[in-house]
Amino acid sequence: MRRSYISPEFDHNNLYGTFNMVEESNFFGAKMLEIEDYVYLYTQNIIYYQNSTGEQIDLSSESILDSTVYSTSDSKKKYHTLTLDETQSSYTKDNATRWILNIGLSSILSDYLYAELKKSRTFEGIRNNMTVNNDVNSALKNYITNNVMNRYKFSRIELFIEYKDLRSNNLLKLTNNWDYLTYKAETQLTKFETETQYDGSAIRVMFNQENPSTLYNFNYYFNILFEKI
């Protein structure tokens, strides 16, 4: 047989299906991750196991390693800020201080979903070299962004405020503390306003301090509820 010496126009390389983190649907349907109908983020922790490279290959060997603990409280603390409303008058600032709470809803939800999928070992058996960036954790985050985040919508927020007497230490005026122990029925605040970003990625919560800031500061906490679309 004679050779044609014509080079092939294309090279064919086999790739792992996990290089693509976007679920593709077709006429006959597609695989679908089962998710919770509601995600209520309060004070829960999630514990999961993985090896030193972030892979989940063998639970029996990984469970003897130090576990990874996701804290809902820490995640919410990381993705929010509490600031004074700079447009308020001096009188309001002292007697009914107006606060603005900015919360990154998408970041908090993504952190929770990541921990849940890690706990469920959804990517068990997938090694780093089977992903496009050679990082299974990065691939899992991409999967959540591309396939799971758009299946949830923000439903409501619960805000909790516990006032602390400042008369023994006035140096802490306008200094407030994030504290999950504030989450109690008797500390729930019902009078506040919200503005949600058009894409649901963040929310702004505005509220007035019910006790004068010259005499009280407060500990605070919030819970968030998401619903499946």
Angle at Cα 72 formed by Cα 69 and Cα 75, nearest 5°? Answer: 95
Inside any domain, residue 51: yes
The pLDDT tens digits along the chain (229 residues) read 566 555 666 666 665 667 676 766 554 445 567 788 999 999 999 999 999 999 999 999 999 999 999 999 999 999 999 999 999 999 999 999 999 999 999 999 999 999 999 999 999 999 999 998 899 999 999 999 999 999 999 999 999 999 999 987 777 899 999 999 999 999 999 999 999 999 999 999 999 999 999 999 999 999 999 999 9
Domain that residue 116 falls in: 35-228
CB-CB contact of 220 with 161 (8 Å): yes
Q: State how many domains the chain has.
A: 1
Number of other residues whose CB lies within 10 A of the CB of residue 74: 14
CB-CB contact of 98 with 85 (8 Å): yes
pTM of the model: 0.87
Q: How many CA atoms lie within 13 A of 64 on its CB side?
A: 3
Inside any domain, residue 41: yes
